[in-house]
Structure 1
């Protein structure tokens, strides 16, 4: 359902607010509030109604509610004085008073003509073209089209990505297309195209992600599968494709913003510029990345993902930069802001859960954040890659390893892979499988030799195997990277569970690490 009023259009299915052809950026809670007011425009909506609908009954301060109402008015060029569209009814609540025309999805089903007047959205944008049926079997069209629709739905759950709706991208079905032209006509930076070929009881699916600006290939993959349960196969391929696209697009966007003039950058661009430094996992990188994240938040104070990365950066400074309480407090504050503003952003919730689990040791709230993130996007490897750490430190080795394996299965070439690979080693150490722990630990160190704790996770199983010189060498590399490290300081800071504390600290002591 979409709602049209004045020159605005609010599309509930695509979660977009537009004024003419311009996409208006609104925070998810603001969108939900506005949509609820419009749907219930025939009555006055109370504060309790809004809290139940938008915050699912959670405790919300009057200041938070007022800020979201003000943000909704700002998006509509309304104000508290004018109240042209959103009117405050004294001591009763709010009411949307604009004239609204509803348009059902069926009414929009007629194919849209590609539009050449669309500008490229400020955030990354993608169109998923219908996959070519190479089988000569018309029945395979249903399989291919259904999979593409699922991929569009999956990508739409990535909050930082603008996804063209099916009705627009499917106007290219059966046509030979030029990707650069598609980019211009649909106003997108990236295009995903592919093909399906059936032979006997097997099917081959290919996909490639292309930069519509220069035609370069960002990612390509081929999937060969048994064609048994069609719907299960669609689900499997959808999850694999969406999981692969997210980190590849993130890398492409970082490279793009490096080429832009600094004076043309918005909040999203500032965040992208910060990521390579934050992704070092070390204090020196956090110090370089945080000023850019602060600039992003100065432009967009409710930017959940920027809060999430700021939380991670301050957590890095706290745990590996001297255990200063100011960094712990800032990490927690940004993490809670990421939860408050990021109800629809899986990555922001993952970063928040990771930080809260480590610096506040609130594993229950951390698990709630991870669960909410996975409900939004089950294909987001980022959630599993961050979630595995507090899970492992809580002593749940089996679940930690399972999450690590899922993270690497979804996105095996991600920059984050050193974390799940290292936690596989740590989890095997906790389970007494020291040889497997050493093998996984060495792989993690090879992926990111500059991440200090990986050497600690490797030193512990080496020590238990009696390979003391190797364990001490690993411990020495940790100390060279993090001179502040002590076993007691680290284990208390991250909240190592009492059930595993003795085993972990004892092995690290054998490796020669300071108490």
Structure 2
């Protein structure tokens, strides 16, 4: 076939027009999909699949344009349409309107996406949330111990200035080992999440911990610790240090000392402290729970009068009870003040 005649036939059968109209309409459709679908949390693979289908559809549209033509009487074979009177043929300028409208829609969607799309702020690489630890002990009453280990690890990490650590108040609403870890991390605004479990039996403790980078889905670090109850402080310190190291956090000399500090040498005092911590964290400012927390903190400082952290928690619980009008007596206020003074004497910093 003569190339000139072939290209002339393409033009006569409106193949060029269909190609231009399809390209413009396809581009407009892909722009609309890219802007609208993410709003409804449509996965990226679905968006990509539709774009691929649009691309695949182009040669199909060109073949159909060669073989058929749209007339007022409907779709006809090109040969049949050629034999029809010129007045009965469809308006040959209709394709121009398709191109113009499609082009305007495409340009509008482009600028809409460019200037109205939310700016995504990258999550800090050294941001972290410590989720509640799972209690794997046969005695479910040991849940307080799992809560306490999580709280103490979080407290130690919060002492590192180079880390952004989400407060326990924000993380406590989530379950241990959640399925939607990436969604939780997005809500908390962190790039990394710590999960763990605790199993306590008599004087033996097993702690499983893992650090996950939610953005990449990779496990940065994981470890299992089997220790005696009296060695739980070193476990908490080691976990905090390993997490900080995995996130390449810079530690000052004072921070290293704070991470390695042992709050008490009395296991019974520490157990009472953890029980008080569990009641306080779950109190939601309930007076009954705060009274129980105060009882356990008071027991902890009786067992170890040099337990500065327990004195500080005792002061805080008294203050919460006072300011939340659970007990507004002068005795409650003085108790909070006295406990705070004891904590400051033992640990001025």
Same fold, TM-score > 0.5, yes or no: no
Instruction: Report which of the two structures shows the higher radius of gyration computed on alpha carbons.
Output: 2
Query: Relative contact order, CA 8 A, sep 6+: which one is greater?
Result: 2
Query: TM-score scaled by structure 2?
Result: 0.37
